[in-house]
């Protein structure tokens, strides 16, 4: 059963160009920007779907249209059988939204106070609310922070509480917009683990946007890659990884170069003053490192998987 159906969705923004301030008093000039360009896809119940794309690609805009925050310029959206932009109450009762860079919790109140307001807004039965809050806060290890004013909490703690706030009412779909942005590794991992759990246990459908590949690998089954407003890839995460995320990027840092024939080690991806990056298959990784370090005076090594931009470039090339 499809709970989200999107057909030829478009969103255009008018951007004011400020050139001449005298002119701008009387008349503004506009430029049309296509934030979302003819996107179509469907999501089934219980799926965990990620929107992947660089900044400004249109993932957040798509999410905002699915939650009814902004009106589409054209195209059809149906979420849970509703038109999101009608902002039907039954619809809003069934969704939750977390935004990594915005706070839904009131700065000056404690999280528990804000949650008790949510309890009334979403009309959660009081018993259910209590047990659920108890369970969730233990699970995320934040029960000691429930009674601290939100402004005194760290970003990681706050994010966890935001997350609790968004799922207290047991939504059918949870939208997450860059939920781990700015967090440390441990907090990120905790949140990812938690998201996976609630998706598996409660059957919540997760829609996540991120530009962090790791978020997506650990939480989602399916990836939609968006670039310049267009949907360029729609498949499982395993497919993406096995087809596009094959190469490793090895970066060597050094003081000075002893061996001048750098090309002999493999394909050079990038070269800067004191560093050089090679693009290699994982199998030939150990050999590259040993031969390079034996001939050059290496200070440090970084090994990375394929950057997002490369992956998108590759997707385009394969098309």
How far apart are CB 117 and other proteins at their closest, in Å?
5
Cβ atoms of 218 and 212 within 8 Å: the answer is no
Cβ atoms of 11 and 72 within 8 Å: the answer is yes
Q: How many CA atoms lie within 13 A of 155 on its CB side?
A: 14
How far apart are CB 116 and other proteins at their closest, in Å?
9
How far apart are CB 281 and other proteins at their closest, in Å?
36
Of 183 and 216, which CB lies nearer to other proteins in the complex structure?
Answer: 183
Of 128 and 151, which CB lies nearer to other proteins in the complex structure?
Answer: 151
| Cross-strand bridge partners of residue 206 | 48, 174
Cβ atoms of 227 and 312 within 8 Å: the answer is yes
Of 153 and 311, which CB lies nearer to other proteins in the complex structure?
Answer: 153
CA gap 95, 152 in Å, rounded: 28
Is beta strand 275-280 parallel, antiparallel or unpaired with respect to 267-272? antiparallel
How far apart are CB 122 and other proteins at their closest, in Å?
7
How far apart are CB 147 and other proteins at their closest, in Å?
12
Q: In what order do the strands lie in the sheet with 48-52?
A: 95-99, 173-177, 205-210, 48-52, 222-227, 230-236
* Token pair for 260: 């001048």
Of 56 and 125, which CB lies nearer to other proteins in the complex structure?
Answer: 56
Of 107 and 253, which CB lies nearer to other proteins in the complex structure?
Answer: 107
* Token pair for 250: 């090895």
Query: Using CB under 8 A as the criterion, which residues of the chain lie in contact with other proteins when the complex forms?
Result: 13, 24-25, 55-56, 60-61, 64, 67-71, 87-93, 95-97, 99-104, 106-109, 113, 117, 120-122, 149, 151-152, 155, 175, 177-178, 182
């Amino acid at each position: 059963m499809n709970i989200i159906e999107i057909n030829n969705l478009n969103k255009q923004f008018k951007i004011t160009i400020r050139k001449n301030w005298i002119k701008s008093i009387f008349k503004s000039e506009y430029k049309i920007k296509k934030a979302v360009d003819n996107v179509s896809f469907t999501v089934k119940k219980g799926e965990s779907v990620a929107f992947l794309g660089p900044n400004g690609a249109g993932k957040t805009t798509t999410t905002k249209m699915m939650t009814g925050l902004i009106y589409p310029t054209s195209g059809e959206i149906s979420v849970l059988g509703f038109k999101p932009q009608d902002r039907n109450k039954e619809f809003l009762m069934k969704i939750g939204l977390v935004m990594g860079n915005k706070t839904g919790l009131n700065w000056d109140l404690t999280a528990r106070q804000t949650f008790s307001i949510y309890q009334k807004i979403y009309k959660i039965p009081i018993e259910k609310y209590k047990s659920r809050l108890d369970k969730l806060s233990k699970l995320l290890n934040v029960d000691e922070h429930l009674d601290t004013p939100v402004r005194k909490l760290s970003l990681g703690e706050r994010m966890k509480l935001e997350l609790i706030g968004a799922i207290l009412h047991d939504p059918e779909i949870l939208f997450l917009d860059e939920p781990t942005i700015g967090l440390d590794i441990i907090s990120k991992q905790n949140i990812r683990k938690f998201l996976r759990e609630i998706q598996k246990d409660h059957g919540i459908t997760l829609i996540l946007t991120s530009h962090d590949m790791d978020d997506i690998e650990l939480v989602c089954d399916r990836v939609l890659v968006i670039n310049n407003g267009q949907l360029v890839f729609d498949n499982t995460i395993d497919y993406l990884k096995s087809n596009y995320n094959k190469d490793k990027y090895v970066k060597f840092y050094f003081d000075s170069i002893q061996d001048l024939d750098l090309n002999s080690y493999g394909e050079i991806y990038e070269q800067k003053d004191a560093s050089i990056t090679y693009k290699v298959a994982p199998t030939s990784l150990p050999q590259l490192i040993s031969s390079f370090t034996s001939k050059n005076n290496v200070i440090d090594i970084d090994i990375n998987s394929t950057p997002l931009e490369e992956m998108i470039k590759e997707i385009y090339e394969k098309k």
